[in-house]
Structure 1
């Protein structure tokens, strides 16, 4: 083969919004794209890794968006929530409003590209998970860069996991995370196992950021096709790692050794998700290690879902089923 041929060359083209998804999902894709066809999120440029003030300004800007989303979620939530400090970790503990089995717990890890998504959004997310699963939820508001680089976020997660283990049997605990939270959730499992801690009943990974080296196929194929996450997050990854090896399993859990033990896992992504390769590769690795695993890939779904379309509700139902099944709670509350 000619050395100059390093891949498939694509002609300039427009990738249409597909008719194979719900009207609500099509509308969500359209809202995320400008009149020129460029995803609106592609207009945002990440600061240089060394630009502390630039990152702080970005976080402040993003917090406005996250706060607005959190207010919408909180307005729909029924669970009460209490914020506590456990050593260095901030935790939002959400309790269902109706009667619930007190011997089960869900640990929730928020997304936000490793640098955003905490505070009010994390708090509202804990309430949402408590409502969805009908059990107490611990939303970990982990510390983030540029003030708190790796391993401080993972340290916070481990602190809370040990605290939860003191109160619940490991077989009654489920850990879940979306995007960057999926990275931390999987890293928690690997580190807990390495430290000799018991593993939880199950793991839920939603469009997880499992490979900070960004080596998968979808990082190229779905670039700009993913209207939510249209390009690389390498500046965020380098900021988070602060010089640590991005391929280390505690930073990129995709490269962990799953033969030493891992809980049953629920994986989700979409055909337009920049992180699709993360979920697909993780699924294969877990299958090879004979770990029970489910992979749910949704048609044309970008990173993070369609924000309220029927497909999102279907995904929520699948997660609820999986969690109840792994906790031995049966099909209903």
Structure 2
């Protein structure tokens, strides 16, 4: 189980906090009109660039600080994977999928609130489990199958609650009043629900594919693997930025302190999640996702004065037996 050793518990807890903070920080970064003003492609590009530089420097420092002396030939053998084209190619697909999802999570915030998104994004758990079963051929234990059923109920409860709140907001009169209500109450449009479904499927496929790649290439240092993955992320997001950028706006237009925190926290979380996928697997990542929903809900209640109804509370309460079932051997 993930909490059976102190280092695993530390990694698990840190990832939960970082994962749960993402949506909250995006909403804190909004302007006075409750709009995200930065170009999401630039933020994701900065995150990928940060992961690339961090992983590369960490790997080079590891080589320089190795206690045993190395010949030039041995040093080249350790550095060579960084330039091995064949080792880079498998990371194209997951890098593209991650880039799509990292941009999608920003746009989804226009159609839902932080807590509703975080709970409904748990739909990536059954989709990931299904894709995990289909792509790897491994059976999912019975207790985890029950947990997936619980999470389905969580999604249904939160969806109903969010759609009802959206109807109330639409029926309200006056932009000034409805805009404040929209930021305080749960709300979920049908387009938002569709985008979350797409987000969940893409996330599931990306998670399973990158785990399979990392484990099949277990002999390659994880920092090198992060360099490979981030490299394609940089290229893809640079292309997205060049095709969507407004010529009148600068690269950092719309940035603030919260945007900077988004970049820093997601660089750290990306490094941690890659470690989780390689050494602990996707089921642990799913457990992190479930816990982060509770964190986001708790924080959103105080920061955004979010009104939580019975259906939402039911969804959150069901997360606890889900955590138990996922952690049970």
Same-fold status (TM-score > 0.5): no
Structure exhibiting the larger radius of gyration computed from Cα positions: 2
Q: TM-score, normalised by structure 1?
A: 0.28
Higher helix share: 2
Q: TM-score, normalised by structure 2?
A: 0.29
Higher strand share: 1
Q: Which has the higher contact order (CA 8 A, sep 6+)?
A: 2
